[in-house]
């Protein structure tokens, strides 16, 4: 027979799930980690109302909170719920179904996530001048030199895709015949232009990586360094990179191995928490790239970020 305490816990949980606004919040927070302002925008309610409901859900153990600077981010994590609470939530979610309110919530959630992507671009605009220091703190500086050993015939034309402030291009410009720099951030490109102003063999292109403004079979090699984890569809970016390669041309991707640092999604706009080399191999192969080589790069003792790997492949003739 259930104890008085057990019956009280059940009553409290049922009371929390009896309110439509809280059910809508849980439905959203099961999908995405969101802030109070974002939730208020999605539910079209005052922030004070949303905050009150979040406080009840937090105290009831339904959601978890994480501080992000001065903001608080909330999420429903099924693994943190008791077995009884998980079963109760599954039942409540099934009974809730998809009424118009919930469908509208999902539509507005997509808009919020699209705005986040825009904010990611804005983030790079804000930190353009500091980006090299941020990246150096996370990953050190030696990985670029290690990776470039796979390149460097002096007659090559090389595309630096997602060039940032030109950290790689400044090395390439003195080693190969032509360098194309591509980045979606105008602020990053402006910093790269200033940095590489004395090099006449460098060309700049404002574009994302899924629709490159370069001709088919126009470059000998392409580099995508610490960029794919910001791209919604990395397989498409790899196909585009393969498209611009000459037959026999090489693609080099440097990125993080799969990791669990969820905070990177919010602090730096990461779409992917690293990659599995096997997953990357599938994308290379689907893009028509062969002769694959994967190297787990040596860790920099000063680096604070996840381990890196490099994958190289060539376009089939």
Q: How far is the C-alpha of 19 from the C-alpha of 9, rounded, in Å?
A: 17
In CATH, the number for domain 4-97 is 1.10.10.10
Beta bridge partners of 75: 64
Local confidence pLDDT in tens for the 317 residues of the chain: 445 555 556 666 777 777 888 888 888 888 888 888 888 888 888 888 989 999 988 888 888 888 766 678 888 877 777 787 778 878 887 877 777 878 888 888 888 777 776 666 655 665 555 566 666 677 666 566 646 544 578 899 999 999 999 988 988 898 899 999 999 999 999 999 999 999 999 999 999 999 999 999 999 999 999 999 999 999 999 999 999 999 999 999 999 999 988 888 888 889 999 999 999 999 999 999 999 999 998 766 667 888 899 999 999 87
For the chain, the domains span: 4-97, 130-315
**Residue 63: left if φ>0, alpha if ψ -120 to 50, beta else—which one?**
beta
| Cβ-contact 311, 291 below 8 angstroms | no
Overall fold of domain 130-315: Rossmann fold (3.40.50)
The pTM assigned to this predicted structure is 0.57
Q: Within a 10 A sphere around the Cβ of 139, how many other Cβ atoms?
A: 24
């Amino acid at each position: 027979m259930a104890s008085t305490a057990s019956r009280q816990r059940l009553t409290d949980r049922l009371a929390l799930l009896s309110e439509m606004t809280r059910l809508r919040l849980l439905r959203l927070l099961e999908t995405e980690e969101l802030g109070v302002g974002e939730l208020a925008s999605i539910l079209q309610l005052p922030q004070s109302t949303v905050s009150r409901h979040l406080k009840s859900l937090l105290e009831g153990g339904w959601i978890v909170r994480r501080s992000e600077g001065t903001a608080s981010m909330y999420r429903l994590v099924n693994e943190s719920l008791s077995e009884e609470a998980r079963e109760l939530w599954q039942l409540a979610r099934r009974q809730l179904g998809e009424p118009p309110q919930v469908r509208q919530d999902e539509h507005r959630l997509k808009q919020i996530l699209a705005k986040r992507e825009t904010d990611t671009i804005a983030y790079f605009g804000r930190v353009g001048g500091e980006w090299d220091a941020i990246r150096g703190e996370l990953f050190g500086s030696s990985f670029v030199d290690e990776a470039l050993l796979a390149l460097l015939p002096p007659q090559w034309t090389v595309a630096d895709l997602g060039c940032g402030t030109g950290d790689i291009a400044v090395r390439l410009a003195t080693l190969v015949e032509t360098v194309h720099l591509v980045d979606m951030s105008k602020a990053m490109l402006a910093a790269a232009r200033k940095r590489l102003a004395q090099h006449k063999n460098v060309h700049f292109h404002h574009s994302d990586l899924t629709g490159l403004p370069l001709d088919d079979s126009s470059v000998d090699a392409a580099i995508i360094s610490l960029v794919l984890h910001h791209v919604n569809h990395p397989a498409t970016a790899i196909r585009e990179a393969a498209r611009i390669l000459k037959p026999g041309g090489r693609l080099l991707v440097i990125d993080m191995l799969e990791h669990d640092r969820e905070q990177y999604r919010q602090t730096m706009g990461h779409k992917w928490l690293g990659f599995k080399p096997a997953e990357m191999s599938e994308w290379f192969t689907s893009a028509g790239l062969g002769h694959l080589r994967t190297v787990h790069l040596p860790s920099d003792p000063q680096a604070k970020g996840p381990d890196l790997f490099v994958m190289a492949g060539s376009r089939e003739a």
